Amino acid sequence: MMGIVMKKVSLSVAALVAMGVGTASAADLGKVYTKAPPVAYVSPWDVAFGAGIMNDYVFRGITQSNHKPAVTAYFEPRYNINKDLQLYVGSAFSSISFANRASAEVDIYGGIRPTFGALSFDFGAWGYLYPGGQCVDTVVGGGGVCPVDVNTIVLPNGNVMKKDVSFYEVYGKVAYAFTDSFTAGGSVFYSPNFLNTGADGTYAAITAKLTAPSGWLPNGIGSYVSGEFGHQWLGTSDAFYGLAPLFPNGIPYADYNTWNIGVGFTYNVFTLDLRYSGTDLDKGACNAFTSDFTASGTGFPAGGINGGAPSKWCGDTFIAKLSADLTAATNLK
């Protein structure tokens, strides 16, 4: 009888052990064959692009479009080495209206953007290309300041301009985000041959931007206030722009201040920017620097050059711009 009991106990224990082993094995097999959740891959590459339309294209206080509407577009591939270091190249286009009949500005640029917390930098080079220009002279067929074998343009006001006014700048920018809403910064640009005039140019500016809190305006509309104050230093032109008898070897261009302030409204990828721009560059000096084909009149001093025709290309103006800006990582998922 005892042997039968012992056999039953042994069988029961064996059954329990077998069940336990079976259960553990099933659990282990389940762990082995259950797939881990996929790891999301974040590409270091991104592309920013956009376009805009404005009633006037103003560059550092001077209209580039003869105070007429202009369009612009850009395309900027980016490579993020890490979250705090970005490389970029880009190309941009803007419609213009120059005295040499160039009607487009094509920009090629590239650089690096390091970030250290709230402090961000941007260093690079920017090339400004103006294809399609013709030499502007005072003599039909050339022979004045343009080569005689060049198809020249003669302006009624006597201004002259080179066929090619392309140039490049190197630059450095810095910005600090004091809060989520307020950012201020500065920038410096330098060109050894500004607008291919032979004169060097340095531009320095301070900027600030205050963004309204989210929800301040209804329906997802954002807003901001921003401004810039800058100073443009310019050297002396080459003999092409010389003015006898005072400056036969080149015009000493006038330095000037420029500023702008405006408000903007954002919705999704769209921005409407309304801005006032001004400069203290006088109308005569403006004509001497820009070769404005609309300048008329005489007797206006131009940075030491008497008799310069006054130009309206520099001075107070209002700019309205509607633009769309996207990035592939954010808007094309």
- pLDDT > 70? residue 209: yes
Residue 17 resides in a domain: no
- pLDDT > 70? residue 91: yes
Residue 319 resides in a domain: yes
* pTM for the predicted model, two decimal places: 0.86
Residue 219 resides in a domain: yes
pLDDT tens digits for range 153-202: 999 888 999 999 999 999 999 999 999 999 999 999 999 999 999 999 99
Residue 115 resides in a domain: yes
What's the chain's average pLDDT? Answer: 87
Residue 322 resides in a domain: yes
Q: Please state the rounded mean pLDDT for residues 250-271.
A: 96
| Domain range for 82 | 45-331
Residue 37's pLDDT is what?
Answer: 66
Residue 306's pLDDT is what?
Answer: 45
pLDDT tens digits for range 13-71: 344 333 344 444 433 434 444 566 666 677 899 999 999 999 999 999 999 999 999 99
CATH number, residue 87: 2.40.160.40
* Peptide bond connecting 245 to the previous residue in cis, omega within 30 degrees of 0: yes
Residue 332's pLDDT is what?
Answer: 83
Residue 98 resides in a domain: yes
- Number of domains, the chain: 1
pLDDT tens digits for range 104-154: 999 999 999 999 999 999 999 999 999 999 999 988 888 889 988 778 899
- pLDDT > 60? residue 248: yes
Residue 138's pLDDT is what?
Answer: 87
